[in-house]
Amino acid sequence: MRKITMRQAINEALHIAFSSDDTIFIVGEDIAKYGGQLRCSYDLVNNFGSERVRDTPISEMAIVGVGNGASMIGMRPIVELSYIDFLGTSFDQVLNQAAKMRYMYGGRVNLPFVIRTQCGAGLGNGAQHSQSLEALLCHIPGIRVVMPSNAYDAKGLLLHAIRDNNPVVFIEHKALYKKKCEVPEEPYELEYSAVVKRPGKDVTIVTYSAMVHTALAAADQLTTEGIDVEVIDLRVLEPLDINTIIASIQKTSHAVILHEAWKKGGFGAELAAQIQAEAFDRLSSPIIRIGAPNVPVPYSAALESAYIPSIERVVSAVKESLEYSAKKNS
């Protein structure tokens, strides 16, 4: 099968969606001729015209507001925010409009629109262009939150999100855009569920987005020491597929939670709470959370590298989890 980048897979999904539904359009800053900061809409205007691919002023509140209004009257807009960091300037539209309108209208309206944006550190973009803010969104009922880790998932999940009748925030990690994997040419949709990326029997690592690759690299390294790690890629944080997580922990009895976002108040805390509630009696050691330190994302390359959870930290956490249970049972 051919291999394409995540950027190409997202562009392909947009082409498929636009070709299949005339109610779909996209708005955002410089997305027409330039292709946007995310560079995933680079040829849409040539294929579907300026009525359906529209540049906007620099106003995230207006951009998300278009999504709210247009979706309520039967359109399926895709709105693009250059960076998730700029979500704050549109947060009233997300928090008090998109998330609540269907509920406040008693289910008489749908809001089928997607907010596409990018997150993540590692490329030297500084503190205001490198954050991972998914936990803020997961705290708000009424919003789907999707974070693919590869091109295959990005295509299938984006097509599913575009056809969802609820607002979806689709978060793409900027360090993954050039990463390739096998992706079918034909259209396909992926359900909102987690997947076991690597089966194992000793320890479960629960993760998502770019950290999936860190977890897999750590698991490969640990194999050489006789430690068999299972890696779960959540793919979707809301709705959360807790059943896949619990099934894994019932098998391994050890849990390590990994994400790039700040450890303090990060989504890993919610994961840990749900695991404790559902599988406390199956745990042989305390849940370990790995996340970024509680500081803004550094601009310095050396400091930014230290900020992002490393393979070595994951390897150490897995060993710590196993050593705890070994001491307890000795």
Active-site residue set: 60, 129
Omega before residue 239 within 30° of 0, cis? yes
Rounded Cα gap, residues 272 and 307, in angstroms: 22
DSSP state of 130: S
- Tokens 């394409």 sit on residue: 4
Distance CA 254, CA 235 (A): 21
Beta bridge pairs of residue 205:
231, 256
Residue of 205, 308, 324 lying closest to 256 (CA atoms):
205
Q: How far apart are CA 65 and CA 58, in angstroms?
A: 13
Question: How many CB atoms within 10 Å of residue 246?
Answer: 18
DSSP 19-56: HH-TTEEEEETT-SSS-TTTT--TTHHHHH-TTTEEE-
φ, ψ of residue 223 to 5 degrees: the values are: -60, -35
User: Of 62, 51, 170, which Cα lies nearest the Cα of 114?
Assistant: 170
How many angstroms separate the CA atoms of 136 and 143, rounded? Answer: 11
Are 89 and 56 in contact, with CB atoms under 8 Å apart?
no
Q: Determine the 3-state secondary structure of 112 from DSSP.
A: coil
Evaluate the omega torsion of the peptide bond into residue 309 and state whether it is cis, within 30 degrees of 0.
no
Q: Which two tokens stand for residue 166?
A: 């609820």
